[in-house]
Amino acid sequence: MYVNLGLLKDIFETPAGQFEKLHVCRVTANEYILWECFQKIGESERRDFPARGMPQGYNISPFKMAGIMCFWVRKLKPFSVAGDEEANRFVNEAIALYTGIYFVYGYGKDTGKTALPKINGEYIHDLIKSLRYNSHSPNSTAFVFESLCMR
C-alpha cells in the first residue's frame, strides 16, 4: 500500500472537524507543511523495503501506518488555530491522535478486527499531552493504536 495523498487529505478532515467542534474554533492547515507530512509519510512507509521494494501482497499494518501518520503530523505541525493560544498549543497532537484512531478504525471496520474505542476523556487528554511533551517514535505510537483499537 503506497500513500494515496488524496486519501490522506480526506483522513485529516474528520479529526480536524472533531477538534473544531470540541474547541469551537477554526483549524487551518499550512499546505506546504501538510505536503511535507505526506512526503515524509511516504518515505517512512517505503523505508522498510529500500532495495527490493515491498514483497508481493504485503500491506503495512494499519497500526504502523497510523503511528507513522501520527508521528509526522505531531513533528511537523501543519495545523493551527488563530486567536486561541490554548487550542493552538495542542491542535497538532490532537489531530495526529484522532487521525491515527480513525485510520485504524476505517481500515478495520469491514473486517471486524478493530473497533472505534470508547476512551476516557482524561486518558485522551493525557495522551495528547504526552505526544506534545515526550518523545514518541512511529513504532511506539503504533503500539498505542494497537492497544486502543484491537478487539
Which domain covers residue 130, as residue numbers? 5-149
Distance between CA 86 and CA 24 in Å, rounded?
A: 12
Grid coordinates standing for 75? 513533528
Highest mean pLDDT: which range of 33-37, 107-111, 117-121: 33-37
Number of domains in the chain: 1
Query: Which has more confidence, 97 or 6?
Result: 97
Which residue in 78, 80, 92 sits closest to 132, CA to CA? 92
Is the separation of the CB atoms in 73 and 138 below 8 Å?
A: no
Is the separation of the CB atoms in 38 and 112 below 8 Å?
A: no
Distance between CA 80 and CA 92 in Å, rounded?
A: 7
Q: Which amino acid is at 49?
A: F
For the entire predicted model, the pTM comes to 0.82
The pLDDT of residue 3 is 47
Query: Which has more confidence, 26 or 148?
Result: 26
